[in-house]
Amino acid sequence: MKNKKNIIFDLDGVLIDSLTNMRLSWSSANKKFNLNSPFNKYQRHIGKPFEEIMKSLGIDKKKFNLVEREFRSMSKKKLKRIKFYPNVKKILLYLKNKKYFIGILTSKDRIRTKLIVKKLKIKFDIIQCPEKPYKGKPSPDLLKKIIKSKKLKRKECVYIGDTAYDLQMCKKGKIDFLFAKYGYKIGIKNYKNKISKFSDIKKIF
């Protein structure tokens, strides 16, 4: 990790603990549209774009827009239930001062992402949310977009994530992966390169 200059973060499960917010938001949509899909099923797919989660859960395609609208609306109402992990701002400022490139690549929509990140009052070099025609995780499309648009070298990049979808994206995109073991651990329990808490980043970079 010593040769890394570009650090790209996942949002949910890495910078923020949003599990309660997601549970409340999904439960509201599940009840309103009789989806018969409890949160424990939804949780297995955290990390994918929202539409892909609904496909995986077998939700009627005709309901996609309604369900997503309800989920996002409730999520914004319950934004206070989202918490940054300890020392996130402190460590990000440390990285900025050390002249690292810092970015976010998330499956969360741009509106909610901006509302959340705004609280940090830190300028990221890039914030990449789902964007057409690019495919979401585990596809490397958005990762490649960042690398190309910012003219980054792959060998100098690392992505910090907490799900198997993040790891798969990195493998396909041919960049190194750092596992946030304190996060949601969807589809992955351990990995050779890992941090047990966010502040461990300071020991590595």
Rounded Cα distance between 59 and 161, Å, is 27
> Same structural domain for residues 192 and 98?
yes
> Same structural domain for residues 181 and 89?
yes
Which domain, by its residues, includes 104? 6-17+82-204
pTM: 0.96
One pLDDT digit (tens) per residue for the chain, 205 residues: 889 999 999 999 999 999 999 999 999 999 999 999 999 999 999 999 999 999 999 999 999 999 999 999 999 999 999 999 999 999 999 999 999 999 999 999 999 999 999 999 999 999 999 999 999 999 999 999 999 999 999 999 999 999 999 999 999 999 999 999 999 999 999 999 999 999 999 999 9
Residue range 159-200, pLDDT digits in tens: 999 999 999 999 999 999 999 999 999 999 999 999 999 999
Look-up of token digits 């309800």: 70
> Same structural domain for residues 95 and 135?
yes
Domain CATH code at residue 36? 1.10.150
Tell me what pLDDT residue 200 has.
98
- Counted domains in the chain: 2
Question: Hey, is 75 helix, strand or coil?
Answer: helix
Assess contact for 117 and 91: CB atoms under 8 A. Answer: no
